[in-house]
Amino acid sequence: MLKQQLQFKLSQKLSPQQIQLMKLIQLPTQAFEQRLKQELEENPALESGKETDNEFDSDFENTDDDYNDNESINAEDINVDEYLSDDEIPDYRTQVNNYSSDDDEKTIPYAAGVSFTQHLVNQLNTYRLNDEERDIAEFLVGSVDESGYIRRSLSDIMDDLAFTQNVYTTEHKIEQVLHVVQQLDPAGVGARNLQECLSIQLHRKDKNSNTELALKIIDSAFDQFTKKHYKKLIQKFDITEQQLKGAINEIEHLNPKPGGSYSGNNRIVEHVVPDFAIKIEDGELELTLNGRNAPELHVSREYNNMLKGYKDAKDKSKSQKDAILFIKQKLDAAKWFIEAIKQRQQTLFVTMSAIMHYQKDYFLTGDERQLKPMILKDIADEIQMDVSTVSRVANSKYVDTPYGTKLIKEFFSESMKNDQGEDVSTREIKKILETVIEEENKKKPLTDDALAAILKDKGYPIARRTVAKYREQLDIPVARLRKKI
C-alpha cells in the first residue's frame, strides 16, 4: 500500500566555496604561495598585480545581470581564439637570433649526491674480495639501516642470500665479511647492536688509559654501565671515581647512530616561513601578517571586456553560447578567489591577534611560566568563529617572536588548579618541573615522588603519576638514567 506524507528536514551543508576557503585558511605561507601559483596558471581571468583603472571594478559589478542576456550576438564581433590561445604560440616565434650566454636562466642546480648505501659500496672497492665475498659484502651493506645498524640475524641473512642471490654460504663466512664491512666509514657502521657499535668506535681510537678502560667497560660490563651502577664498576675494575669519569667521558663522545653522521644522505632540510611577526614597540605588542599572504590580484581586463562585448552583439550561435559560459565561469572563479584570499587574511589576522592579546604577558616577557591556560574554544568565543577554524590556523602556522619562531598551537594548554584555587597552565608546571630537574644534584637525581613533593611546596599539588607523565612529555628520563658521577 502506497502512502504519501510530508516531512520537514533541516540540514546544513557547506558550499564548495566554503570548503575551499577552509582549505585556504589551513595552508601555511609556502603552501599558500603554491596554491596561488596554481590558480593563476589554471584561471586566465585571474591576474596578479594592481589594476590601474578605477572604473574597472564598477564595470565588472554591472556585468552580473548580463550573463544570461538572451540578445543575439555576432560571431564576427569577437574572436574568442585570440583570448583563449595566447599560450599556443610556437617556441620558434618567441626566439631571437642574438641569444647570449648572459641570458641563461639563473637557477641554482641541485647536486645529485650519493646515497648512504652507495657511499658504503664505493668503499668496498678498496678491499680485495673474491666474487663470493663481494656478493656477501654488498648484501650486508644493503641491509644497513639509516642509523648504520644491521638489525637482522646472520642466519636470516644466510637464508636470504641463498633464496634471493643464489649465494650458498655459512654463518662463519658471513661473519668474516661482516668484519670487513665494519671497517668502513663512518666508524661503527655495520654493528648489530649498540654495544658492538660503541666497541667498534673505541677500537678505532688512539689507545690511552681512558679508551682502554672504556673498551673494557663496554665489552665486559655493558649492562652495569647502561644501568649506571657506578659503584659496581669501580669495584669490578679496581679504579678510582676519577678514572671512571674519564672513561665515561670517552664513551659519551661516541656516536650511537653512525649512519646519521653521513653528510651526503640527501635529506631535505625544511625551512619554516613565519606566517606572522610579533614585535614589541614602546612596551606594546605589534602584530603583522607576512606580506606573502596578501598578494595583489585582479580580474583580467580582457575577459571582462569580452563579456561586455557580447551584450551589444546581435547574432547568436552555439559556439558563442559556450564561449559566454566559459568566460562567465572563469570570471566568477577569479572574483570568488580574490574574495576568499581577503577573508583568509582577515581570519588569520583576527585569530592571531586574539591569541596575542590572550597571552600578552608571555609575549612581553618570553617567560613560558607566564602562559595562561588556553584552549581552542577560548579563542573561538573571543572572535566568534568556529573552533575548527581556530584549529586550522593554529595547527600549521608559525609566528616570529622576539624569543624565536614558534608554532602557534604551542601556546595552547590545559589548566590545573594551584593551591590558591587559581587556574594555571600545564605548560607553566612543565617549565617549573624542567627547571627543578636541571638544578638537581646529578649524583642523586630526584625521584618522581620527590619531584611531586617539591612541586607541592611551590604551590602545585599534583600526583606522582602526573609528574611522570609531564616528565615523559618533556623527554626527560627517570632518575636512575639521569645519574652522573
Can you give the CATH number for the domain in which 435 is found? Answer: 1.10.10.60
Residues 467, 420, single domain; the answer is: yes
Q: What is the pLDDT of residues 126-172, one digit of tens each?
A: 888 888 888 888 888 888 888 888 888 888 888 888 888 888 888 88
pLDDT for the residue 162: 85
pLDDT at 448: 85
Q: What dihedral angle (degrees, nearest 10) is formed by the CA atoms of 396, 402, 404, 410? A: -50
Which residues face 277 on adjacent strands?
288, 400
List the one residue out of 340, 259, 395, 313 whose CA is nearest residue 71. Answer: 313
The C-alpha atoms of residue 184 and residue 367 are separated, in whole angstroms, by 47
Q: What does the pLDDT average to over 388-404? A: 87
Place of cell 624565536: 404
Q: Does any domain span residue 13? A: no
Could you write out the DSSP letters of every residue in 311-360? HT-----HHHHHHHHHHHHHHHHHHHHHHHHHHHHHHHHHHHHHHHHHTH
Give the tens place of pLDDT for each residue, 372-395: 888 888 899 999 988 888 888 888
For residue 184, what is its C-alpha cell? 668502513
Mean pLDDT confidence for 449-456: 86
Of the ranges 93-97, 180-184, 401-405, which one carries the lowest mean pLDDT score? 93-97
Q: Alpha-carbon distance 261 to 118, whole Å?
A: 15
> Model confidence at 33, in pLDDT bands (50, 70, 90)?
confident
Give the pLDDT confidence score for residue 278 in this predicted structure: 92
The sign of the CA dihedral 10, 11, 12, 16 is negative
Q: Are residues 303 and 426 in the same domain?
A: no
Q: Is residue 77 part of a domain?
A: no
Structural domain count of the chain: 3
DSSP string across 437-448: HHTS-TTSPPPH
Q: Which long-range contacts (CB under 8 A, 24 or more apart) does 70-75 make?
A: 71/311, 71/313, 71/314, 71/316, 72/313, 72/314, 72/315, 72/316, 73/310, 73/313, 73/314, 73/315, 73/316, 73/317, 73/320, 74/313, 74/314, 74/315, 75/315, 75/317, 75/319, 75/320
Which three cell numbers mark 253?
663522545
Instruction: Mark whether 235 and 368 lie in a shared domain.
Output: no
In a domain, residue 186? The reply is yes
Secondary structure class of 125 (helix, strand, coil): coil
CB 29 within 8 A of CB 292: yes
> What is the average per-residue pLDDT within 342-362?
91
Q: Which domain holds residue 435?
A: 415-482
198 and 286 both lie in a single domain: no
Q: Is residue 48 in a domain?
A: no
Instruction: Indicate the residue type of 226.
Output: T
d(CA 142, CA 28): 38
26 φ, ψ (degrees, to nearest 5): -70, -25
Residue 483 has a pLDDT of: 77
Residues 166 and 197 placed together within one structural domain of the fold: yes
DSSP result, 28-58: -HHHHHHHHHHHHHH-TTEEES----THHHH
| Residue 343 belongs to some domain of the structure | yes
Same domain, 297 and 392: yes
Of 30-34, 220-224, 277-281, 480-484, the poorest mean pLDDT is in 480-484
Task: Name 261's Cβ contacts closer than 8 Å, sequence gap at least 6.
Answer: 186, 255
Question: Are residues 120 and 180 both part of a single domain?
Answer: yes
End position of a domain, from candidates 411, 443, 474: 411
Mean pLDDT, the chain, whole residue set? 78
Do 143 and 252 belong together in one domain? Answer: yes
On whether both 354 and 303 belong to a single domain, the answer is yes
Which of 359, 385, 411 is the last residue in one of the domains?
A: 411
Position 420 in a domain: yes
> Which of 411, 428, 459 is a domain's end point?
411
In a domain? residue 82: no
pLDDT above 70 as % of the chain: 78
User: Which of 356, 440, 338 is CA-nearest to residue 57?
Assistant: 338
- With a cut of 60, say whether residue 11 has pLDDT above it: no
Does residue 280 have a pLDDT over 70?
Answer: yes
C-alpha 308/C-alpha 306 separation (Å) is: 5
285/239 same-domain check: no
Q: Are residues 403 and 440 in the same domain?
A: no
**pLDDT (0 to 100) of residue 234:** 87
**Residue 57 pLDDT class (50, 70, 90 cuts):** very low
Please state the pTM of the whole predicted model.
0.54
C-alpha cell at 206: 688512539
Residue 351 pLDDT greater than 90, yes or no: yes
Phi-psi region of 228 (alpha: psi -120 to 50; beta: other; left: phi over 0): left
**Same domain flag for 407 and 419:** no
pLDDT digits (tens, 9 = 90+) for 67-124: 444 443 343 444 444 444 444 444 544 454 554 545 444 555 555 556 788 888 888 8
Could you tell me if 218 and 198 are in contact, meaning their C-beta atoms sit under 8 angstroms apart? yes
Q: Is residue 127 part of a domain?
A: yes
Q: What is the percent of the chain with per-residue pLDDT over 90, rounded to a whole number? A: 4
